[in-house]
Amino acid sequence: MQTRLFQSGSKTRFEPRSWITLKYLLSMAMMLMSLLLAPMASAQNWKLVWSDEFNGPAGSAPSGADWSFVTGKNNANGELEFYCPPGSNTSPCNANTPNIFEDGRGNLVIRAIKTPSGTWTSGRMSTVGRHQFQFGRMEARMKLVPAAGFWPAFWMLGTNIGSVGWPACGEQDIIEWVPHYTPTTTSSTIHGPGYSGAGGIGRRFTFPNGGRIDDGAFHTYGVVWSQDRMQYYRDDWTKPFFTVTPSDIPAGTQWAFDHPFYILLNFAIGGGFPGPPDASSPSPSDVLVDYVRVYDPCPSCMNVAIDSGGGVVSSFDADKDFTGGQTSTHAVSIDVSGVTNPAPTQVYQSIRFGNFGYTIPGFTAGSNHTVRLHFAETFWTTAGQRTFNVSINGTSVLTNFDIVAAAGGAHRATVKEFVTTADSAGNIMIQFVAVKDNAAINGIEVE
């Protein structure tokens, strides 16, 4: 990361009070105008334009229509791993012990394996030749494992790499982890002509409240990318921790990020940056990816947040768009520590229960959206006392769902997230059907 110190000379002079006041007012007006005109991550609605949710059967390969896979040793950076695509028996790969597969629980697995001969195998995949993107919001929800020599990454390369080479094509490392960061910290970095390798421009992020890359929860790693600006974030896209623009690159160098890029996921082992693995490095070790999603800015799109069974709470509207069910509130303390981007606590204290549905209108027919369902059990205290099914636009998304079991206890928040498509009338319909006792929901978000 570059740090620049700005220094200006000063001269002493006396000016009339009226002129000083006028200058102050003009300065404040210009400052306010710059704040209003500056791009802000939190002032944007989004339209989902592409995603892979990795919902294939256990052991299946990711879609070849979306991903290409690398075979062989990557000699860059002194890395040790041999990359094995799905189904490969090219030594040292073994199709019976794959390095890239879906686990049947909605996750991609990129597995690092130390073979009996001592060779590390792993996986690298990208959307090159399949999907390319220029501007938008790109994010992946991932769970990592820390160990000596490990170097997982979610990143992007310019599609013109074949003609201009690296680093002129530009590289965006949305998230990297290496051992010297410790498990509490990750980084985001850009590389371009004149600011690459060890001279890349980046910043580290340390998770608050004792969070770690292996704390049992998935974390979301992403970038809001616009003309001449990248804003990198962790877990909450409205709160970027690192913003980089052409003013941050060395004088006389070229900004290399206003053209199409493709997405990469890989799990490297060894090399100069992470150092070598050792006897403590576990084999196998898995990088889990819940999803990769790409959104475009959408000024006409609307985001919906509903406090089920309750009133207006912060950005959540009072309960609406429902049919059936009853409501209640319970003023109990709610533990939201296990949730990324939780709703306000009051949302989890109100509930709609019974057999009921929501029909949320106003979307563009056929448009893609992310639905987040917020739950916290505030009545029952043990698992097995409340189970129910949930469907979205006729597709089952939760079967025999048990809030206590999913959250790990009563009075604890949990969130389930799904991608859906608005129907021909522009509606998103969410149906809740009781299996034992009553179905229940605390809050709904549609993005």
Q: List pLDDT tens digits, range 427-446.
A: 999 999 999 999 999 999 99
13 inside domain: no
pLDDT at residue 344, rounded to an integer = 95
For residues 278 and 310, membership in a common domain is answered with: no
pTM: 0.80
For residues 162 and 204, membership in a common domain is answered with: yes
For residues 221 and 263, membership in a common domain is answered with: yes
For residues 290 and 336, membership in a common domain is answered with: no
Does the annotation count 53 as an active-site position? no
For residues 209 and 239, membership in a common domain is answered with: yes
Q: Using one digit for the tens of pLDDT, what is the confidence trace for 206-264?
A: 999 999 999 988 999 999 999 999 999 999 999 999 999 999 999 999 999 999 999 99
Q: How far is CA 424 from CA 275, 298, 299, in A?
A: 54, 19, 21
414 inside domain: yes
- Domain of 104, CATH number, reads 2.60.120.200
Last residue of a domain, one of 262, 297, 332: 297
Last residue of a domain, one of 269, 297, 325: 297
Name the residue among 69, 68, 63 with its Cα closest to residue 51: 63
For residue 76, name the pLDDT band (cuts at 50, 70, 90): confident
Question: Which of 24-38, 63-77, 260-274 bottoms out in mean pLDDT, i.e. has the lowest?
Answer: 24-38
User: Quick one: how many helices (H) and strands (E) in the chain?
Assistant: 4, 29
Contact present, 333 and 427 (Cβ < 8 Å)? no
How far is 149 from 285, CA to CA, in rounded Å? 12
For residues 316 and 288, membership in a common domain is answered with: no
Q: Using one digit for the tens of pLDDT, what is the confidence trace for 399-423?
A: 999 999 999 999 999 999 999 999 9
pLDDT at residue 42, rounded to an integer = 54
pLDDT at 9 over 50: no
For residues 289 and 361, membership in a common domain is answered with: no
5 inside domain: no
Q: What is the DSSP string of 356-421?
A: EEEEE--PPTT-EEEEEEEEE-SS--STTS-EEEEEETTEEEEEEE-HHHHHTSTTBEEEEEEEEE
pLDDT at residue 298, rounded to an integer = 86
Type of residue at 430? I
Beta strands 120-122 and 304-307: pairing type?
unpaired
Range of the structural domain that residue 234 is part of = 42-297
11 inside domain: no
Q: Which residues contact 142 (CB under 8 A, 6 or more apart)?
A: 152, 154, 175, 218, 219, 220, 221, 287, 288, 289, 290
Contact present, 376 and 348 (Cβ < 8 Å)? yes
Which of 79, 102, 171, 447 does the annotation list as catalytic? 171
Q: Is 154 exposed, middle or buried (0-12, 13-18, 19+ CB in 10 A)?
A: buried
194 inside domain: yes
Q: How many domains does the chain have?
A: 2
For residues 145 and 109, membership in a common domain is answered with: yes
- Domain of 435, CATH number, reads 2.60.120
Does the annotation count 445 as an active-site position? no
pLDDT at residue 301, rounded to an integer = 81
Contact present, 84 and 99 (Cβ < 8 Å)? yes
pLDDT at residue 217, rounded to an integer = 87
For residues 61 and 100, membership in a common domain is answered with: yes
Q: For 250, what's the count of Cα atoms within 13 Å in the CB-facing half-sphere?
A: 12
For residues 242 and 361, membership in a common domain is answered with: no
119 inside domain: yes
Contacts 24+ apart (CB under 8 A), 40-43: 41/224, 41/231, 41/233, 41/237, 41/238, 41/239, 41/240, 42/238, 42/239
Contact present, 346 and 418 (Cβ < 8 Å)? no
For residues 235 and 322, membership in a common domain is answered with: no
Last residue of a domain, one of 243, 265, 297: 297
Contact present, 63 and 52 (Cβ < 8 Å)? yes
Average pLDDT over residues 38-62: 83
6 inside domain: no
Which of 81, 176, 377, 417 does the annotation list as catalytic? 176
17 inside domain: no
